[in-house]
């Protein structure tokens, strides 16, 4: 039942946005009773955080391909797939816009999603330092911004198509920036 509720939540969030999302509508879409929803999540914010975290953070793992280039390309490929999916492509911009109006949601997204995901991505850099591919004093904060920023900007903000070799080219530019 939880999978049906999660699927209904994401479909509803993509359809109406966070501001208009109601737990009752999610329950109806999932074919579940309201009590089943409220037993797990007492409020819309609780449900949003739990389900977004499960998809955006818990499901993502940093791969160790053996090289920094391979790790960065694998990371970008995962992000690319997520940002192109029909639900996240509608949900992410809506949640970010809503976070601008809702400080509680903004704080939760920062701590539950961004900070957790950045800490996982830091492992990618640490692996490269351990292998001697990056200096120990690499600016990790800036590297993390570079790692996600260009692809997110292109796909989620300006909705610009990419060429088939885009991720390879972006990986090479990122590696050059990390080494600078």
Q: How large a percentage of the chain has pLDDT more than 90?
A: 62
59-106 pLDDT, tens digit each:
567 788 999 999 999 999 988 988 888 888 888 889 989 999 999 889
- Is the alpha carbon torsion for 82, 117, 121, 158 positive or negative? positive
Q: What is the mean pLDDT of residues 48-61?
A: 77
Regarding the domain delimited by 60-179, which CATH topology (the fold level of the hierarchy) does it fall under? Answer: Tetracycline Repressor; domain 2 (1.10.357)
Domain boundaries, the chain: 2-43, 60-179
Return the closest-CA partner of residue 143 out of 78, 59, 68, 81.
68
CATH homologous superfamily of 2-43: Homeodomain-like (1.10.10.60)
For 130-140, letters b (16+ CB in 10 Å) and e give eeebbeeebeb
127-138 pLDDT, tens digit each:
999 999 999 999
- pTM for the whole structure: 0.81
């Amino acid at each position: 039942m939880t999978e049906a509720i999660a699927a209904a939540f994401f479909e509803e969030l993509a359809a109406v946005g966070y501001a208009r999302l109601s737990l009752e509508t999610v329950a109806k879409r999932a074919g579940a009773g309201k009590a089943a929803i409220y037993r797990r999540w007492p409020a819309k914010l609780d449900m949003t955080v739990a389900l977004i975290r499960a998809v955006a953070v818990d499901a993502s793992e940093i791969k160790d391909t053996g090289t920094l280039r391979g790790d960065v390309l694998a990371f970008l490929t995962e992000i690319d797939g997520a940002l192109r999916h029909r639900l996240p492509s509608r949900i992410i911009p809506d949640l970010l816009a809503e976070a601008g109006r809702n400080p509680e949601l903004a704080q939760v997204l920062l701590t539950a999603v961004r900070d957790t995901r950045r800490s996982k991505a830091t492992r990618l850099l640490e692996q490269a330092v351990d292998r001697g591919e990056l200096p120990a004093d690499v600016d990790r904060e800036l590297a993390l911004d570079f790692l996600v920023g260009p692809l997110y900007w292109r796909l989620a903000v300006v909705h610009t198509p990419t060429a088939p070799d885009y991720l390879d080219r972006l990986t090479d530019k990122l590696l050059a920036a990390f080494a600078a």
